[in-house]
């Protein structure tokens, strides 16, 4: 059996869309349709119900989906084993949040170009949920998660570093540079521009603000760290971000640290699929990530 048919089956089952599956697999939509029909004919069962809004996995398809994933994982392990001892080369896709993609990963890529010039690293900005889904689907080889815990089904993770967080405001804000730390009650009267929901450190900080009795916090959540940082630099409110993302603004005097309640560092977790064997290229990237973050 052609494993390409199984890969198309698994991708279509996950996306529920012939168009999305074709885009992800870099195939024509008609090719996806033909491959699914071919597999259904080989197996003697209907795998999908074709609906106006996409494709819905049938009961038989759900039953066979786990088996198909097992075959694809076995194929991946076979290819990785065959590559042992050969030159370290290939494409490795790493998923990480905007914070790490913009501040920490460029140095990792630069180091790999010196030590493993035939390894092509592709960075894919992704929050935790998208990164975990990418690992499960095979779109990502590795992911960096800014999470206290990384207990996700099918995923194994190793804590490799901590990112320090900092509470900041514009340099001209009344809370800038004061000696007495601001308490939660005082902070709850301010406006905050935080990273999007699902960001563990922003969610934790927002929970503390909203827990203040009679608090009047105005919270705005952004999918872009740059947007949150720009609003704060314009004097519109405060934010909590990894220090690496605001270091330049602090040095330039556009931003200032606000003394306040302790904000715990956020762990950096290096994650991968539990059952998928890493290729030599992916192992080289993982090793360099650990070296760079622990340096």
- What confidence tens digit (pLDDT) does each residue in 137-149 have? 888 999 999 888 8
Task: Say yes or no: 56 and 96 in one domain.
Answer: no
Please tell me the pTM assigned to this model: 0.70
> Residue 84: its pLDDT value, please?
64
* Residues in contact with 229: Cβ distance below 8 Å, sequence separation at least 6, in sequence order: 239, 241, 245, 246, 249, 255
| 257 and 172 co-located in one domain | yes
Are residues 150 and 276 located together in one domain of the fold? yes
Q: Are residues 247 and 290 in the same domain?
A: no
Which of 148, 176, 157, 171 is CA-nearest to residue 258?
A: 176
165, 265 in Cβ contact below 8 A? yes
Q: Tell me what percent of the residues of the chain surpass a pLDDT of 70.
A: 98
Determine contact, residues 72/138, Cβ cutoff 8 Å: yes
Residues 169 and 258 in one domain: yes
Final residue of a structural domain among 67, 83, 99? 83
Going by C-beta distance under 8 Å and a sequence separation of 6 or more, which residues neighbour residue 113?
A: none
48 and 192 together in one domain: no
Domain ends where: 44, 61, 83?
Answer: 83
Q: What are the structure tokens assigned to 129, written together?
A: 């949920």
Confidence band, pLDDT 50/70/90 cuts, at residue 82? low
What are the tens digits of pLDDT across the range 255-289? 999 999 999 999 999 999 988 878 889 999 999 99
CA distance 108 to 144: 13
What is the mean pLDDT of the segment spanning 141-166? 91
The domain spanning residue 99 has which CATH number?
Answer: 3.40.190.10
CATH of the domain at 23: 1.10.10.10
Look at residue 79 and tell me whether its pLDDT is greater than 80.
no
Which residue range forms the structural domain that includes residue 242? Answer: 165-264
Would you say residue 187 has pLDDT above 90? yes
Looking at the structure, do residues 58 and 13 belong to the same domain, yes or no? yes
């Amino acid at each position: 059996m052609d494993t390409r048919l199984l890969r198309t089956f698994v991708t279509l089952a996950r996306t529920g869309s012939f168009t999305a599956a074709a885009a992800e697999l870099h195939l024509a939509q008609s090719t996806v349709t033909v491959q699914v029909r071919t597999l259904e004919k080989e197996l003697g069962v209907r795998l999908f119900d074709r609906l106006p809004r996409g494709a819905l996995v049938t009961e038989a398809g759900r039953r066979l989906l786990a088996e198909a994933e097992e075959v694809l994982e076995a194929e991946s392990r076979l290819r990785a084993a065959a590559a042992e001892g050969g030159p370290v080369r290939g494409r490795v896709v790493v998923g990480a949040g905007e914070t790490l993609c913009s501040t920490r990963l460029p140095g990792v890529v630069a180091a790999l170009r010196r030590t493993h010039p035939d390894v092509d690293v592709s960075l894919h900005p992704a929050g935790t949920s998208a990164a975990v889904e990418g690992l499960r689907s095979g779109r990502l080889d590795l992911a960096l998660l800014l999470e206290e815990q990384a207990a996700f089904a099918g995923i194994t993770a190793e804590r490799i570093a901590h990112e320090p967080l900092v509470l900041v405001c514009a340099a001209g804000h009344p809370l800038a540079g004061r000696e007495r730390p601001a308490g939660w009650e005082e902070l709850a009267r301010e406006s905050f521009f935080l990273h999007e929901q699902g960001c563990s450190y922003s969610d934790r900080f927002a929970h503390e603000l909203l827990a203040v009795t009679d608090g009047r916090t105005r919270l705005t959540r952004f999918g872009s760290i740059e947007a949150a940082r720009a609003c704060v630099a314009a004097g519109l409110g405060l934010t909590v971000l990894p220090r690496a993302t605001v270091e330049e603004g602090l040095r330039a005097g556009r931003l200032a640290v606000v003394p306040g309640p302790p904000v715990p560092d956020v762990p950096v977790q290096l994650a991968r699929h539990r059952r998928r064997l890493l290729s030599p290229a992916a192992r080289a990237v993982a090793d360099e990530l650990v070296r760079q973050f622990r340096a």
